[in-house]
Amino acid sequence: MDIRPHWQPFWSRTLLALVAALFATLLVGCAAPGGPVSLAEVRQFADASARLGGYAELSKRYRDTYEREQPYLSPAADRIARENDARRKAVYEDFLSIQKSLVLYMQTLSVLAGETRYDLSPQLDDLGNGLKANAESGLQQRQVTAYTGLTRLLTRVIASNYQNRSVETMVRDGDADVQVLLEAMISLTRLYAKTNENEKKTILGIFDVEIPFSTKNSDRMLVTLAKVHYLSKSTEYKLLDKRYDLALQGLTKVALGHQRMRENLHNLQAPEVRKLLAAYGRDLVALRDAMSE
């Protein structure tokens, strides 16, 4: 059944003109594009930064210091230790919230720099299909092809420029605070490590002193148990020392990477910048894997 009204070709051409006008207005204010957009390295770096472990786990370990130390403390030391414990538990949430703010920022940056969302090709294919040349619509094939080609280019310009500028804004405006938070986390991790060191020396110290004192034959089993416990604790703390190191390395790398992005804001597409960011991203993933062993 042919229900086509006689004014159909005019209607199609008018619509086409309207769409062209729409894109023209969207173009206003957009700078001329560079090559194809790829913020993939920014995305990967932000993603790896968001997932870096270490700090959260070490914060929790710091909070629970008293539970581990308690059996080894004299009554006088225990009094002080209990005060410390209460205070640590009070500040713990603050320690965590720093990391949460940073993770949220990195996750958002990662999405903002993401690829799939801004690949508008499927929609443009639709546009082409919508403009199928046929005699009735008055459009010729070459006009449709030219039109969709131009639209594809323009849309990539619009979306990628908006995306580019959004990423730039976020990195530029966020860098100072990101560095402040990371520096705080690095300092805190160092304080955790030093407290851990005191914990280790408190626990091992008792055995250093008491084992030489237990020389009676009847002490033999006790001494053996003590030596075994000492060895196991020694090993445990050696492994933990590594985790503090890895955590510090990771945080430093995130800080450096974000700083590089800030320094290279107008250059994020340049191959050397992308390579650098990619390297940071890979290092962060490796650190995370090392910490989850």
Partner 1 sequence: MANDKPAAQPTPAQKTPPPTPAEALSTAKQVEELADKLSACADSIHERVMRDIHRSQEQHHGEVPEAEQSVARALLDAEVELRQRADRLYLDAAACIVSSLGKPQAHLLALTADAAKKIQTITRIGDGITLVARLLGLAAAAATGQVLPILAAVDLLKTQLDVVAVHEAPPA
User: Which residues between 86 and 125 bind partner 1 (CB under 8 A)?
Assistant: 87-88, 91, 94-95, 97-98, 101-102, 104-105, 108-109, 111-112, 117-118, 120, 123-124
CB of 243 to partner 1, least distance (A): 18
164 binds partner 1 (CB under 8 A): no
Smaller CB distance to partner 1: residue 151 or 283?
A: 151
Q: CA-to-CA distance for 232 and 127, rounded, in angstroms?
A: 69
**Contact (CB, 8 A) for 278 and 41:** yes
Query: Angle, to 10 degrees, between the axis of helix 141-213 and the axis of helix 220-263?
Result: 150
Amino acid at 48: A
Provide the mask over 201-240, with x wherever binding to partner 1 is found by CB under 8 A and - wherever it is not.
xx--xx-xx--xx-x-------------------------
Site membership for partner 1, residue 161 (CB under 8 A): no
Q: Select from 40, 51, 84, 245 the one that contacts partner 1 (CB under 8 A).
A: 84
Q: Does residue 248 belong to the site contacting partner 1 (CB under 8 A)? A: no
Figure out which of the listed residues 155, 246, 258, 268 binds partner 1, where binding follows CB under 8 A. 155
Residues 6+ apart with CB under 8 A from 54: 189, 243, 246, 247, 250, 251, 287, 291
Say whether residue 38 binds partner 1 (CB under 8 A).
Answer: no
Which residue, 197 or 245, has its beta carbon nearer to partner 1?
A: 197
Q: Which two tokens stand for residue 188?
A: 């805190």
- The CB-of-286 to partner 1 minimum distance in angstroms stands at 26
Minimum Å distance from CB 180 to partner 1?
Answer: 5
- Residue nearer to partner 1 on the CB measure, 2 or 293: 2
Q: How far apart are the first and last CA of the chain?
A: 70
DSSP label at residue 217: G
10 Å Cβ neighbour count for 147? 17
Say if CB 251 and CB 185 are below 8 A apart. Answer: yes
One of 60, 132, 229, 275 touching partner 1 (CB under 8 A): 132
DSSP letters of 177-194? HHHHHHHHHHHHHHHHHH
Q: Is the dihedral of CA 112, 285, 197, 207 positive or negative?
A: positive
- Provide the 3-class DSSP secondary structure of residue 64: coil
Please tell me whether residue 259 binds partner 1 under the rule CB under 8 A: no
Q: In the complex with partner 1, which residue's Cβ is closer, 176 or 286? A: 176
- Rounded Cα distance between 44 and 5, Å, is 54
User: Which tokens hold the place of 126?
Assistant: 């639709």
- Nearer Cβ to partner 1, position 166 or 224? 166
Residues that contact partner 1, how many (by CB under 8 A): 85
Alpha carbon dihedral 267, 269, 274, 277, in 10-degree steps, equals 60
Tell me: does residue 65 bind partner 1 (CB under 8 A). yes
Nearer to partner 1, 132 or 282 (CB): 132
Which listed residue (50, 52, 157, 188) binds partner 1 by CB under 8 A? Answer: 188
Of the residues 30, 40, 56, 127, which one makes contact with partner 1 according to CB under 8 A:
127
